[in-house]
Amino acid sequence: MKARFLVAAIIAAILAVAATTASGGTKKGQADKIVVWLQDDAKNGWPEAVAAATNAFQAKHPGAEVDVQYQQWTTHLTKLDAAIAGNNAPDVVEMGNTETTKYMAAGAFAPVQAKSFPNSKKWLSGLKDSCTFGGKLLCVPYYTGARAVIYRTDYYRAAGIKGTPKTLEQFIADGKKLMKKYGSDRNFSAFYFPGKNWYASMGFVYDYGGQIAVRKGGKWKGTLNSPQAIRALTKLKSVVGALSRAPLTVDEAHPYPSIPFGKGSVASFVGNGWEWPYTLDSKVGNPDLAPVMAAYPMPSHIKGRYMPTFLGGSDLAVPITSSKKSLAVDWIAAFTNSANMRAVAKAGNIPNATSLVGFTKGNPKVEPFAKAAKYSWFIPKSPNWANVESANVLQDMCSQILSGSKSVKAATTSASNAITRILNAG
């Protein structure tokens, strides 16, 4: 009897498998369909823009379908590789602007014409750069975000700081006032700076005229041990030593500075625009801080300028394997028009064109970051850059310098050598 039960169970299972197979394979007629891969940010931040884009697209191409699938940053490249290998690549894919170079160099994206897209004449040069390779335009700027100093107005006021610092020296002096007033709490930082926060550290390097690497005669050379860079990192070390009690071996995402900030033990930190609402999210942070939070661009050591900020962002590309390239281009054009860029800006980002920066004005949560974007730096445009990040060269260097386990000269020299080696490999 048990044997019969076993057989019945097997048959039932096979039928279930067959059912799931059948339910998945509906074939529609000859309707055109494009598959769009966007990241979760669009789903959570500006879903109305996605819907508007699809509507506009369908108005232009009646009967066409758009299948928007949301991906996850940590593993989306593996999925993209698999999809390309299996001939299932999407027609539009969102890429991080630090991810594009490798794919452009491999010829993964189809060339596009700037004139097909709205506002293309005024595209942010940083984003446009991440879409250009070998003289061709291979993707479309989408949006970007900058970092600025997020701070607590009540702490500043209580420590006697008027307004916000306009130079780095003033910033340090203000920070010391904060440490004097609140520093008896072991957890307190006037300027919370996790040791592996290389984005902010490199801001110092570029502010003093240094660079991560330069390309001469077809070869890359790591230049973090140049005199300017060493000056910058020495300055960084003194700033962090005086003003920060953050652990020196963690990076800017573990935990996000919003979290100790929400606990009241941080007066200021350098963060992305979205880290502000993250602090106020009741599920993670402290909504009571809303009235005492504000932001300003990190001041440069040169009066009248800001410290260059890293412009992280996203681009939209059309994989070369797509069979519906012109449809894909039309959808991207519909998605990146001014109206949708306004929705993206409203969510705390910087839209893809300088002419649209006006969208960020008047919104105190976005304006400081848009202002900070005026001075920016970007990673060396080498297809091998991803390997430098994989090898943690910059994170380890920053952590070594700030903790004192290596001298600035020694740490920058070994980092530069590693960068030279990795960028020139292959």
Partner 1 sequence: MTVAESEVSLASRRRRRWSRHRVLGAVAPYALLAPAAVVLGAVLFYPLYLIARLSVEKYGLFELIRHQGKWIGLDNYTQIIHDGQFWRVLVRTIVFTAVNVSLTMVLGTAIALLLVKVSGVVRYMLTGALVFVWATPVVVAVDVWRWIVDPQFGILNWALTKLHAGDFFHHDWFVNPWSGFAVITALVVWGAIPFVTITVFAGLSQVPTELIEAAQIDGARSWNVFREVTLPLLKPIFVILASLSIIWDFQVFNQIWIMLDQRPSADYYLMSVYSFVESFRLSEYGLGSAIAVVMVLIMFAVTFVYIRQMVKAGEVR
Partner 2 sequence: MSSRQLSKVGWNALGLAVFVVMIFPVYWMVSTAFKTGPNIFSYSPKWLPIPATLANFGDAIHRQYFWQNVRNSLIVVCVVVTLSLALAFLAALALAKFRFYGRKAFIVITIAVLMVPLNALIIPLYITLSRVHEVNKLSGVIITYMTFVLPFAIWTLRGFILGVPRELEEAAMVDGTTRFGAFVRILLPLVAPGLVATSIFAFIQAWNEYIIAYVLLSSPEKQTLTVWLASFTTNRGTAWGPLMAGATLTAVPVVVFFLLVQRRIAFGLTAGAVRG
Binding residues for partner 1, rule: CB under 8 A, are 74, 77-78, 81, 84-85, 102-103, 106-108, 186-187, 196, 245-247, 249-251, 253-255, 259-260, 320-321, 386-387, 390-392, 395-396
- The answer to whether 187 contacts partner 2 (rule: CB under 8 A) is yes
Work out what residue 25 binds among partner 2, partner 1, none; the CB cut-off runs from 5 to 8 Å by kind: partner 2
Asked whether 317 and 311 are in contact (CB, 8 A), the reply is: no
| Contact window for partner 2 (CB under 8 A) among 69-77, 97-105, 130-138, 350-358 | 69-77
Query: Which residues make Cβ contacts (< 8 Å) with residue 73, sequence separation at least 6?
Result: 39, 40, 96
8 Å CB contact between 63 and 31:
yes
Q: 1 to 20, contacts with partner 2 by CB under 8 A?
A: 1-3, 6, 9-10, 12-14, 16-18, 20
What is the distance between the terminal CA atoms of the chain, rounded to a whole angstrom?
Answer: 65
Q: Is 383 in the site for partner 2 (CB under 8 A)?
A: no
CB of 144 within 8 A of CB of 127? yes
What is the closest distance, in whole angstroms, from the C-beta atom of residue 8 to partner 1 in the complex?
Answer: 16
To partner 1, the closest distance from the beta carbon of 77 in angstroms equals 8
Region binding partner 2 by CB under 8 A among candidate stretches 147-155, 212-220, 270-278, 413-421: 270-278
Residue closest to 14 by CA, chosen among 24, 25, 6, 2: 6
SS3 293: strand
Omega cis (within 30) before 255: yes
Check residue 278 for interaction with partner 2 (CB under 8 A): yes
- Both tokens of 251, joined, read 């990076």
What residue 9 binds from partner 1, partner 2, none (CB within 5 to 8 A, per partner kind)? partner 2
Q: What is the DSSP code string of 195-213? A: TT-HHHHHHHHHHTT--SE
CA distances from 331 to 1, 57, 60, 94, 166 (A): 60, 6, 10, 13, 43
Q: Give the shortest CB-11-to-partner 1 separation in angstroms.
A: 13
At its nearest, how many Å lie between partner 2 and the CB of residue 79?
A: 5
**Count of Cβ atoms closer than 10 Å to residue 388 Cβ:** 23
Q: Estimate to the nearest angstrom the gap between the alpha carbon of 187 and the chain centroid.
A: 28
- Closest contact distance (angstroms) between CB of 371 and partner 1 is 31
- CB of residue 190 to partner 2, shortest distance in Å: 18
Q: How near is the Cβ of 170 to partner 1 at its closest, in Å?
A: 29
Residues that bind partner 2 (CB under 8 A): 1-3, 6, 9-10, 12-14, 16-18, 20-21, 24-25, 35, 39-41, 44, 67, 69-70, 72-75, 78-79, 81-83, 85-88, 187, 253, 255-256, 258-260, 262-263, 265, 274-275, 278, 281-287
